[in-house]
């Protein structure tokens, strides 16, 4: 399986990373090197094998569905690149 | 007392409690060593004032007879751990001058027990790398150099990665110990490259809360130290349940230090034949030597088979990037970190992430987005998760057959020089983790222990892999290897006048 230049641009957009035209070819080659490396996985017989989603056979702890934390808007906004009162400021989303 | 940076963490602890040394003297000695070692680029942020303030507090506690388990011991913190009020970068431009308003649970546990912070340590960007060359703030230089004739070669050797600042700082005696993290080998490989000890505990042993996430089903915190005993002491404080991380396990933390020196007689050690292929002649010879050391200590050696070993690294390079692409979606220029202006919000995201992420991070985020995308999810991601089940099953069967631990090499070779690997093909760098990555895939504990020096004068390490939550057995076996192996003489500080 190998990715072409249109696919590189599509993946970059999915990942929300801008790519310059002159980078596309090199990025495609790097992604293909990694995809070649993982290609041998298709030879493994995985019939009837469950996908592993947790290495620990443990029940996750549950707690009461109540507010346990909060009330520190200043701390949450402390590192914001742009803010106004207790709001994050972003470019206009809806015209 | 002679140079206190030459004490082990355990020796320093005992000297402080016996009042042969003050925490202030110990801390000042480390601060001076750090100031003279800037050529190594191990620290991204130095916090000498905070360290000295904490040392004065520790001295007062010791005087009152109220010393805590790690009272007054200066440590380095990998800059992936959020530290309240101290800039945290993950070695990425995208975090800009992010200054957490909270403390990671693991570092908070160390401060609860009296330890103090010297500063934040360099790493591969977002812990993605095996040589510390992907850091946005420049590579770390290992204190180790290759032998050349009677002297040393000029080539700058890598300290391993991603915890390269941690391994270099500990090997150069800039800290008594350091925190690190391990997603595919990022504690054990740098430890092996620098003649230090590094343990990745069982998944769930340490809280991941407040540690910048890479691949959440694989990431674990652990220490890098100069002795096995020191690693046991640090891990005991770092580990434990945390309600803020639902994958952390609510089980008591044993006194790991008590396992040091315990007999390993009758312990069954598995030697997986599949690991014979991944390394060179030199590391295979060391492996044989390690087998002999454990046999001499009374352990029983059995050959085992872990048939899916060769698929672990390729499966890792699907699962880890998939989780990374998801975790790193949060760096959008809205709530913290870098923001680049754009025409609209989507353009702002794309420009911010293009400028903020380095080449390796961008590659992995894109691979992750690809393997999770519509039409490829089952063929790549779900298949890799199934193979992960098979890898874990291999270990489960070996342990069910009575094996107490598995002995393998830690890395395929000694450390390489900057620029020697991965420039043309990213996969060349990935192969460094061939012996370590299976352990993360199966969620098991693994420890790297120095075994000696290679022909080039650089350290080589062995790895022990244990049953889930049986770190104590690993510490006993690692201590047996440590006492049998030739003593590691850490490098003399040639870097104090290097530029």
pLDDT in tens, A77-90: 999 999 999 999 99
d(CA B333, CA B239): 33
Cβ contact A93–B342 (<8 Å)? no
For chain A, say whether B291 makes contact (Cβ under 8 Å).
no
d(CA B266, CA B333): 57
* Angle, CA B346 vertex, CA B341 and CA B351 arms, to 5°: 45
B346: closest CA of chain A, how far (Å): 8
Instruction: Give me the pLDDT at residue A61, please.
Output: 81
Radius of gyration of chain B (CA): 21
Lowest mean pLDDT among A10-24, A56-70, B92-106, B245-259: A56-70
For chain A, say whether B204 makes contact (Cβ under 8 Å).
yes
Q: Which of B215, B330, B333, B366 to mutate to test the interface with A (most CBs of A within 10 A)?
A: B366
Q: Which residues contact B425 (CB under 8 A, 6 or more apart)?
A: A33
pLDDT digits (tens, 9 = 90+) for B425-467: 888 889 889 999 999 999 999 999 999 999 999 999 999 999 9
Contacts of B384 in chain A (CB under 8 A): 38, 41
Cβ contact B363–A44 (<8 Å)? no
d(CA B112, CA B117): 12
Cα B262 to its chain centre, rounded Å, is 25
**Would you tell me how many other CB atoms lie within 10 Å of the CB of residue B85?**
12
Query: How many interchain CB pairs under 8 A, A with B?
Result: 168
A80: closest CA of chain B, how far (Å): 5
Instruction: Give me the pLDDT at residue A58, please.
Output: 78
* Among B347, B350, B389, beta carbon nearest to A51: B389
Q: Which residues contact A20 (CB under 8 A, 6 or more apart)?
A: none
3-state helix, strand, coil in chain B (%, to 5): 40, 15, 45
Instruction: Give me the pLDDT at residue B497, please.
Output: 73
d(CA B198, CA B178): 10
Task: Encode B442-464: b = buried (16+ Cβ within 10 Å), e = exposed.
Answer: bbbbbbbbbbbbbebbbbbbbbb
Q: B122 pLDDT exceeds 90?
A: yes
pLDDT digits (tens, 9 = 90+) for A22-56: 999 999 999 999 999 999 999 999 999 999 988 88
> What size, in residues, is chain B?
499
Instruction: Give me the pLDDT at residue B1, please.
Output: 57
pTM score: 0.97
For chain A, say whether B287 makes contact (Cβ under 8 Å).
no
Lowest mean pLDDT among A56-60, B190-194, B246-250, B288-292: A56-60
With bands split at pLDDT 50, 70 and 90, how would you rate the model's confidence at B135? Answer: very high
Pure H helices in B403-486: 426-430, 437-442, 471-484
Beta strand B116-121 pairing with B74-78: parallel
d(CA A5, CA A3): 7
Instruction: Fill in the DSSP letter of residue B379.
Output: I
Q: B86 pLDDT exceeds 70?
A: yes
List active site positions of B: 78, 162, 186
Pure H helices in B179-311: 188-194, 228-238, 281-296
Report the 3 state secondary structure along B347-363: HHHHHHHHHHCCHHHHH
Mean pLDDT of chain B: 96
Cβ contact B247–A12 (<8 Å)? no
């Amino acid at each position: 399986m190998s990715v072409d230049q249109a696919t590189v641009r599509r993946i970059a957009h999915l990942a929300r990373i801008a790519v310059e035209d002159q980078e596309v070819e090199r990025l495609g080659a790097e992604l293909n090197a990694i995809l070649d490396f993982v290609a041998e996985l298709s030879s493994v017989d995985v019939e009837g094998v469950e996908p592993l989603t947790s290495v620990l056979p443990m029940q996750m702890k549950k707690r009461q569905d109540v507010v346990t934390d909060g009330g520190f808007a200043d701390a949450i906004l402390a590192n914001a690149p742009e803010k106004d009162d207790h709001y994050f400021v972003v470019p206009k989303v809806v015209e | 007392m002679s140079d206190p940076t030459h004490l082990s963490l355990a020796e320093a602890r005992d000297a402080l409690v016996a009042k042969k040394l003050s925490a202030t003297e110990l801390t000042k000695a480390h601060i001076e060593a750090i100031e003279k070692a800037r050529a190594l680029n191990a620290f991204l942020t130095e916090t000498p004032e905070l360290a000295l303030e904490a040392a004065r507090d520790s001295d007062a506690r010791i005087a009152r007879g109220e010393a805590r388990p790690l009272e007054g011991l200066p440590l380095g913190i990998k800059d992936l751990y959020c530290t309240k009020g101290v800039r945290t970068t993950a070695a990425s431009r995208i975090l800009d001058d992010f200054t957490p308003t909270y403390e990671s649970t693991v570092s908070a546990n160390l401060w609860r027990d009296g330890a103090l912070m010297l500063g934040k340590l360099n790493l591969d960007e977002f812990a993605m790398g095996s040589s510390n060359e992907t850091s946005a703030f420049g590579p770390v230089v290992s204190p180790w150099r290759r032998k050349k004739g009677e002297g040393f070669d000029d080539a700058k050797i890598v300290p391993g990665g991603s915890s390269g600042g941690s391994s270099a700082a500990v090997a150069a005696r800039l800290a008594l110990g350091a925190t690190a993290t391990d997603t595919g080998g990022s504690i054990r490989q740098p430890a092996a490259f620098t003649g230090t000890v590094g343990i990745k505990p069982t998944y769930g042993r340490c809280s991941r809360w407040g540690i910048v996430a890479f691949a959440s089903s694989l990431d674990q915190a652990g220490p890098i130290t100069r002795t096995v005993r020191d690693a046991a002491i640090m891990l005991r404080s770092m580990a434990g349940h945390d309600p803020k991380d639902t994958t952390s396990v609510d089980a008591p933390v044993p006194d790991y230090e008590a396992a040091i020196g315990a007999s390993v007689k009758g312990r069954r050690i598995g030697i997986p034949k599949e690991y014979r292929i991944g390394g060179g002649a030199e590391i295979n010879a060391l492996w044989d030597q390690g087998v002999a050391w454990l046999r001499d200590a009374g352990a029983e050696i059995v050959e085992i088979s872990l048939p899916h070993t060769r698929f672990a690294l390729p499966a890792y390079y699907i699962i880890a990037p998939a989780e990374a692409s998801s975790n790193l979606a949060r760096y959008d220029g809205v709530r913290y970190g870098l923001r680049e202006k754009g025409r609209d919000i989507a353009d702002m995201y794309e420009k911010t992430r293009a400028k903020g992420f380095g080449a390796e991070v961008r590659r992995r985020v894109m691979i992750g987005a690809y393997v999770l995308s519509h039409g490829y999810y089952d063929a790549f991601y779900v298949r890799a998760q199934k193979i992960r089940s098979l890898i874990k099953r291999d270990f489960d069967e070996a342990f069910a057959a009575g094996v107490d631990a598995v002995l393998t090499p830690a890395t395929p070779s000694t450390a390489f020089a900057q620029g020697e690997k991965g420039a043309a093909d990213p996969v060349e760098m990935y192969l460094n983790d061939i012996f370590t990555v299976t352990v993360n895939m199966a969620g098991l504990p693994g420890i790297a222990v120095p075994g000696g020096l290679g022909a080039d004068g650089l350290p080589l390490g062995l790895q022990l892999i244990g049953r889930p939550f049986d770190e104590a057995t690993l510490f006993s076996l690692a201590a047996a290897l440590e006492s049998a192996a030739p003593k590691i003489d850490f490098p003399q500080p040639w870097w104090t006048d290097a530029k």
